[in-house]
């Protein structure tokens, strides 16, 4: 069984993330979307909330699991018996940093390969950071995220404003 892991912060999950997951799920027997715990970031949503938002966003795809993990990605891959890391690429600038990470991951765990999937051009400009910036400033994010994610983002910012 070919198991792939699609890691990321997914804060929040966007249509671009979902597109990559749908396409990767067609290639691999099992795709694990793995929410990374990054102590250096200040996410809008907790790990549990991000995991739930993603799970609801990909519930239509039977061979996808959603999980989270702390620590190194390569250790998570080993625990899951995964052979592939899936990474989405929006632009050439993504490639430089992703290639560097792929090289380090391969050095630490040569049994796993990184597969780059270019994003669909209709989603190439979407990022979680941009979605949060738009929402924080009162703009509509409906074209960038599923309705349940839009509601959660808007509610999170309403709570922040109301203290």
Using CA atoms, how far apart are residues 89 and 95, in angstroms rounded to an integer? 6
- The catalytic residue among 50, 57, 68, 128 is 128
pTM > 0.85: yes or no: yes
- Name the active-site residue from 50, 57, 68, 90: 90
Q: How far apart are CA 68 and CA 140, in angstroms?
A: 28
Res. 135: pLDDT tops 70: yes
The per-residue pLDDT for range 76-91, each reduced to its tens digit, is 999 999 999 999 998 7
**What is the CB neighbour count within 10 angstroms for residue 64?**
21
Q: Is the dihedral of CA 101, 50, 161, 150 positive or negative?
A: positive
Q: What pLDDT score does 163 carry?
A: 64
CB 124 within 8 A of CB 90: yes
Is residue 118 scored above 90 in pLDDT? yes
User: How distant, in Å, are the alpha carbons of 66, 134, 141 from that of 146?
Assistant: 17, 15, 9
22 has a pLDDT exceeding 70: yes
The verdict on whether 26 is a catalytic residue reads no
Q: How far apart are CA 43 and CA 61, in angstroms?
A: 26
Q: Which residue has the tokens 């239509």?
A: 60
Residue positions forming the annotated binding site for ATP: 9-10, 17, 88-90, 98, 123-129
Share of the chain above pLDDT 90, in %: 85
Residue 161 has pLDDT above 90, yes or no: no
Q: What superfamily would CATH give domain 3-162?
A: HUPs (3.40.50.620)
Q: pLDDT of 26-58, one tens digit each?
A: 999 999 999 998 777 789 999 999 999 999 999
60 is catalytic: no
17 included as an active-site residue: yes
The whole-number average pLDDT for the span 55-74 is 97
Are 128 and 114 contacting, i.e. CB atoms less than 8 angstroms apart? Answer: no
């Amino acid at each position: 069984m070919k198991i792939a892991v699609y890691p990321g912060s997914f804060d929040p999950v966007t249509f671009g993330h979902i597109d990559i997951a749908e396409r990767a799920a067609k290639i691999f027997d099992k795709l694990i979307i793995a929410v990374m715990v990054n102590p250096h970031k200040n996410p809008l949503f907790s790990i549990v909330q991000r995991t739930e938002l993603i799970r609801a966003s990909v519930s239509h795809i039977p061979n996808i699991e959603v999980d989270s993990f702390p620590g190194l990605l390569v250790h998570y891959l080993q625990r899951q018996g995964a052979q592939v890391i899936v990474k989405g690429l929006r632009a050439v600038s993504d490639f430089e940093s992703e290639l560097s990470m792929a090289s380090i991951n391969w050095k630490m765990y040569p049994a796993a390969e990184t597969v780059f999937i270019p994003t669909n051009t209709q989603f190439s400009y979407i990022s979680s950071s941009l979605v949060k910036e738009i929402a924080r400033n009162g703009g509509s994010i409906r074209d960038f995220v599923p309705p349940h994610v839009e509601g959660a983002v808007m509610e999170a910012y309403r709570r922040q404003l109301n203290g």
